[in-house]
Amino acid sequence: MAQEVDLQGGGIAKIRNFWVGLGLTILTLGIYYFCWYYFVNDELKDIGTAKNDPNLSSSSPMNSVIAVLIGGFVIVPPLLSVYNYGQRIKRAERLAGVPRNREINPTLAFLLVFPGWILVIPGFVHYWYVTKHQNIALRAAAGLPAFDEPAGLPVAG
């Protein structure tokens, strides 16, 4: 079960376990991925609200999901959505006070998706990489040590 954290100033988020998310995605034949994508984007929006960042707080988790789900027929929208997701994580990490040298690299995250999903293994690395940085941003925004793993919960890192 994911550890819930209270974002200082608004919202509750979950520190997610990479292996649980990957297992649920495989078990549900990919359906969980879209739920996960909505949840993580919504949590980043909550960080933006808590930190009074109009750019992050005005992002739309549903539009992100639609871009990856339906936009896949056009190819460009999911790629743009995934790149912007990395940018939102970076912005959240910056707002939460994560040192710049420890922030996510959105370009690397994007390159792990494309052509990562075609090559499979880089796609898994992408999922691990963004989960790790999402958790760092959430911990820091909640006032917890950003780089300490929660007790009893093995998190990718």
Rg of the chain over CA atoms, in angstroms? 15
- Asked if 30 contacts 45 with a C-beta cutoff of 8 angstroms, the reply is no
Q: pLDDT-based confidence at 157, cuts 50/70/90?
A: very low
The residue behind tokens 């990718």 is 156
Quote the mean pLDDT of the chain: 87
- Asked if 12 contacts 24 with a C-beta cutoff of 8 angstroms, the reply is no
> Residues 65-73: what's their mean pLDDT?
86
pTM of the model: 0.87
pLDDT the model gives residue 116: 63
Dihedral angle at the C-alpha atoms of 141, 147, 150, 155, nearest 10 degrees?
110
